[in-house]
Structure formats: structure tokens, C-alpha cells
């Protein structure tokens, strides 16, 4: 094979020197799952797998691939059915499906803010949003994590420079993917209304976890009518793949016309669409898995407190709980030791998080038992003692 150019090889060496070299791991299904985003167990559900198959057969929706982009030959009728279902389930005027959350954020943030517009985003925002912003024309400014005060300061500082018809966007996640914590969404919505800002909320880690049927945190707080756009991904609590932007009819039209990650890609296969459809059917029935997940989160928090571990966890009511280790080697060792004890807990290392903020990211699921949760916490307690 042709050798890697030297400057790229040097960058890989630097990663190795920092003990931060990434490689693809083997997936070991024998370990207890504390690392996947399959919060409700839908990705591993045989019933869902069969239901998607039955649905395809019943509706005669055959085809292995979609054959083209949605604007040409790939707009399978199931897309229309699904987008209608999302409008009802998520109480949205309109809905537009993308191939993934990465695509949705890339397309949205690269195309919506225009030259002269300001985007104020939480410093811990997901990489897909940052990538979209870096392709776009607006001026992106970060504010301190979950800090409304810093957001206010940043907006005030920019205000004098804002052009007459510039638009200000505020971007956050309802549940942060690394820390599992949340902004005060109610205050943020009030702030955006008073200051004429367009609020965009990524609900990737909230759907399936918050709300009566897993509709997300925005709907649990009844804020859905007051937000410019929500991004929901299906690869986490919904257990499959793809994403939807929930917004107005007019923004949907805008994205169909200008979001390049929507326009220039092959649509999802009928099987993917059927799986999403049946996963939402399960949510619609008020899946028992949601209440079981909540019980497990509660149990985990009580036991972590009892073992004196709470102070090292970032405060979270979600399925994601982060234990701060603050050292790359230690974080790797802890994760390895937990895996040796049959608990699949992964370390999140720099550069995914800033250097010195390395942590263990513990994901809870509806299918974790009390014994499993206790076992993992006890192992952790021994490691830190």
C-alpha cells in the first residue's frame, strides 16, 4: 500500500505519545452493558426486529435500498407516514427525517445561520453541531456550560456589533451527551423570547428517557411550541438509526432546499424506516421499559450515595452518569478493571473531553438489574478507595 504522508504519521505518533490513540474495540456481549446508548433495550429487542419485518410484509414495502436521494427516487412512502407520526408524537408542526443525527446537525447548522448572524452555543455542544457551524456563515460564540449568566454576557457583548437584520441563535442539548446533565430549559426559553433569539435544542439523549412516553425533556416541560427547532436522533433511546428535525413547515421547506447533508445523500432503506416506525409504536404504548429505566436511575443514585461516590458524579437525572477521574491513564485503568469485573464501563478521554477532565461514562438501561448496578458501583468504590 502507499505510505501515509509524513505529516499525518506524525499526528498519529503524537496521539500515541499522549496515550490517546483511538482504535476500534471488539464488542464483548458477555459484559454487563453500562456503555451503550440503547437505554430502553430497543436495539436488542427481538420483538421489535420481528415487528419491523411483519410491518414491511404487511405493507408490501419491499426493497433493500432506497435507490436514491429523497429528492429524486428515495422518498419511500414510509417517510411520509413517519413524518406525520412524529408531528403527532412530538407535537410539532412539521418534521424532516435525516439519515443520522450527525447529518441532521451538519445540514442544519451549515445552512440555517447566514452571514452576519450570531450563534451562541454551549461549550459542551456535540461535535456534529460544531462541524455544522464551522461549515456555515454565521459567527459562532461559545458560552460556559449551562451558564445563563455567561450566555447573557456574551449576548450583551455582541449586541452593539450585531447588524440590523441579523438573527441570533442559541444552541444547547436537553441532556448533554458526555455529562448527562441539563440546562435550565425553562429559563433558557424565557431568555430567548425576551431577547428575540431562536432556540435550537438537541434532544438526542432525552428521547426515550423523559416524558410520559419518552417524548423528550422539551415536551416533559411543555416547551415544544416555544422552540425554533428540536433535533431528535434514533440511535440512542429509540434503538435504531436516523434522526428528525422537529420544526415549522417553512423551516422544513428551507432545509429540503438548502441542507446539503439532506440533499446529497441516499435516503434510508425501507427496513430502517420500518424499524423506526415500530420503535415509535412501542413508545406510543407507554413502554414498560421507560418506567423500569427510571427505577434503575433512582436505584443507582441511592446506592452511589450510600457508597459515598456521589460527590465524584456530575449531577444527572438522565441515563448518563459521569464519574470524574481527571487523568487519562487512571481513567483507562479504571475502565479496564471494571471490564475485568464484567462491567462494560468506558472511559471518555481527551480530546473527546478537555485534557484533565477524563471520566468514566456510565450509561444505565432498563435491562440492567439491581444486582448488576450494585456490582458495578462496588467495584468502582474499591477502585477509588
**Closest CB to ligand PLP among 97 and 297?**
97
Rounded CA separation 358/79 (Å):
40
| Shortest Å distance, C-beta 138 to ligand PLP | 19
Distance CA 385, CA 383 (A): 6
C-beta closer to ligand PLP: residue 102 or 280: 102
- To ligand PLP, the closest distance from the beta carbon of 38 in angstroms equals 12
Min dist. Cβ of residue 176 to ligand PLP (A): 7
DSSP state letters, 155-199: HHHHHTT--TT--EEEEEESS-TTT-----HHHHHHHHHHTTEEE
Least spacing, CB of residue 378 vs ligand PLP, in Å: 29
Among residues 111 and 377, whose Cβ is nearest to ligand PLP?
Answer: 111
Q: Whole-angstrom Cα distance, residue 142 to residue 125?
A: 9
Least distance to ligand PLP, CB of residue 77, Å: 23
35 or 128, CB closer to ligand PLP? 128
- Choice between 111 and 233, CB closer to ligand PLP: 233
Beta-carbon contacts of residue 183 (< 8 Å; ≥ 6 apart): 122, 146, 148, 172, 173, 174
**Grid cell 503524537 — which residue?**
14
- Residue 177 lies near ligand PLP (rule: CB under 6 A): yes
- In three-state form (DSSP H/G/I as H, E/B as E, the rest C), the secondary structure along 277-307 is HHHHHHHHCCCHHHHHHHHHHHHHHHHHHHC
- Site of grid cell 443525527: 101
- Tell me whether residue 98 or residue 300 sits nearer to ligand PLP (CB atom): 98
Binding mask 110-129 for ligand PLP (x = CB under 6 A): ----------------x-x-
Spatial contact of 286 and 212, defined as CB atoms under 8 Å apart: yes
User: Which residues are CB-neighbours of 135 under 8 A, at least 6 positions away?
Assistant: 106, 109, 110
Distance separating the N- and C-terminal Cα atoms of the chain: 49
Residue with cell 428535525: 245
Cα distance between residue 59 and residue 233, in whole Å: 25
State the minimum distance, in angstroms, from the CB of residue 319 to ligand PLP.
12
Question: What stretches of 6-62 show up as alpha helix (H) in DSSP?
Answer: 6-17, 46-58
Q: According to CB under 6 A, which residues from 234 to 293 bind ligand PLP?
A: 235, 243
Q: Minimum Å distance from CB 357 to ligand PLP?
A: 17
Q: Which residue is nearest to ligand PLP (CB)?
A: 101
The count of residues interacting with ligand PLP (CB under 6 A) is 13
**Cβ closest to ligand PLP, residue 272 vs residue 296:** 272
Cβ proximity to ligand PLP, 130 vs 312, nearer residue: 130
Q: Which of residues 206-235 bind ligand PLP (CB under 6 A)?
A: 233, 235
Residue with smaller CB distance to ligand PLP, 261 or 296: 261
Alpha carbon distance 154, 143 (integer Å) = 7
Q: Are 359 and 124 in contact (CB under 8 A)?
A: no
Closer Cβ to ligand PLP, 22 or 295, answer by number = 22
Distance CA(349)–CA(326), nearest Å, equals: 9
> Least distance to ligand PLP from the beta carbon of 103, Å?
7
Please give the residues from 126 up to 155 whose contact with ligand PLP meets the rule CB under 6 A. Answer: 126, 128
Candidates 117, 173, 215, 344; binder of ligand PLP (CB under 6 A) is: 173
Which of 42, 201, 204, 322 touches ligand PLP (CB under 6 A)? 204
The DSSP line for 322-364 is EEE---HHHHHHHHHHHHHTTEE-EEE-TTTS-TT--EEEEE-
Segment 90-109, which members bind ligand PLP (CB under 6 A)?
100-102, 105
Tell me the chain's radius of gyration from C-alpha atoms.
21
Least distance from ligand PLP to the Cβ atom of residue 169, Å: 16
Among 117, 202, 215, 358, binds ligand PLP (CB under 6 A): 202
Catalog residues that contact ligand PLP under the rule CB under 6 A: 100-102, 105, 126, 128, 173, 177, 202, 204, 233, 235, 243
Amino acid at each position: 500500500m502507499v505510505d501515509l504522508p509524513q505529516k499525518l504519521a506524525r499526528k498519529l505518533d503524537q496521539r500515541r505519545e499522549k496515550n490517546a490513540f483511538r482504535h476500534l474495540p471488539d464488542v464483548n456481549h458477555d459484559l454487563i452493558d453500562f456503555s451503550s446508548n440503547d437505554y430502553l433495550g430497543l436495539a436488542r429487542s427481538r420483538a421489535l426486529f420481528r415487528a419491523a419485518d411483519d410491518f414491511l410484509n404487511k405493507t408490501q414495502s419491499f426493497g433493500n435500498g432506497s435507490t436514491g436521494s429523497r429528492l429524486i427516487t428515495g422518498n419511500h412512502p414510509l417517510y411520509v407516514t413517519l413524518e406525520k407520526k412524529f408531528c403527532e408524537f412530538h407535537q410539532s408542526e412539521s418534521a424532516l427525517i435525516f439519515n443520522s443525527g450527525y447529518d441532521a446537525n451538519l445540514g442544519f447548522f451549515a445552512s440555517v445561520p447566514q452571514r452576519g448572524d450570531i450563534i451562541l452555543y454551549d461549550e459542551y455542544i456535540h461535535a456534529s453541531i460544531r462541524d455544522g457551524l464551522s461549515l456555515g456563515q454565521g459567527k459562532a460564540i461559545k458560552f460556559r456550560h449551562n451558564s445563563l449568566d455567561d450566555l447573557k454576557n456574551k449576548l450583551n457583548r455582541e449586541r452593539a456589533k450585531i447588524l440590523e437584520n441579523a438573527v441570533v441563535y442559541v444552541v444547547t442539548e436537553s441532556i448533554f451527551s458526555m455529562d448527562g446533565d441539563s440546562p435550565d430549559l425553562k429559563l433558557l426559553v424565557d431568555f430567548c423570547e425576551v431577547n428575540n433569539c431562536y432556540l435550537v435544542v438537541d434532544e438526542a439523549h432525552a428521547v426515550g428517557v423523559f416524558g410520559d412516553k419518552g417524548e423528550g425533556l422539551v415536551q416533559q416541560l411543555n416547551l415544544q411550541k416555544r422552540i425554533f427547532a428540536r433535533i431528535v436522533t434514533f440511535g440512542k433511546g429509540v434503538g435504531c438509526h436516523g434522526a428528525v428535525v422537529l420544526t415549522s413547515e417553512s423551516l422544513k421547506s428551507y432545509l429540503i432546499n438548502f441542507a446539503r447533508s439532506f440533499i446529497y445523500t441516499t435516503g434510508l432503506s425501507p427496513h430502517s424506516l420500518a424499524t423506526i416506525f415500530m420503535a415509535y409504536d412501542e413508545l406510543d404504548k407507554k413502554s414498560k421499559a421507560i418506567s423500569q429505566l427510571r427505577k434503575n436511575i433512582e436505584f443507582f443514585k441511592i446506592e452511589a450515595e450510600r457508597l459515598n461516590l456521589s460527590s465524584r458524579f456530575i449531577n444527572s437525572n438522565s441515563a448518563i452518569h459521569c464519574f470524574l477521574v481527571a487523568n487519562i491513564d487512571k481513567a483507562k485503568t479504571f475502565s479496564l478493571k471494571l471490564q475485568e469485573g464484567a462491567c462494560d464501563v468506558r472511559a471518555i478521554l481527551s480530546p473527546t473531553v478537555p485534557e484533565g477532565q477524563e471520566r468514566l461514562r456510565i450509561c444505565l438501561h432498563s435491562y440492567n438489574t439491581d444486582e448488576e448496578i450494585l456490582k458495578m458501583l462496588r467495584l468502582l468504590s474499591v477502585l477509588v478507595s
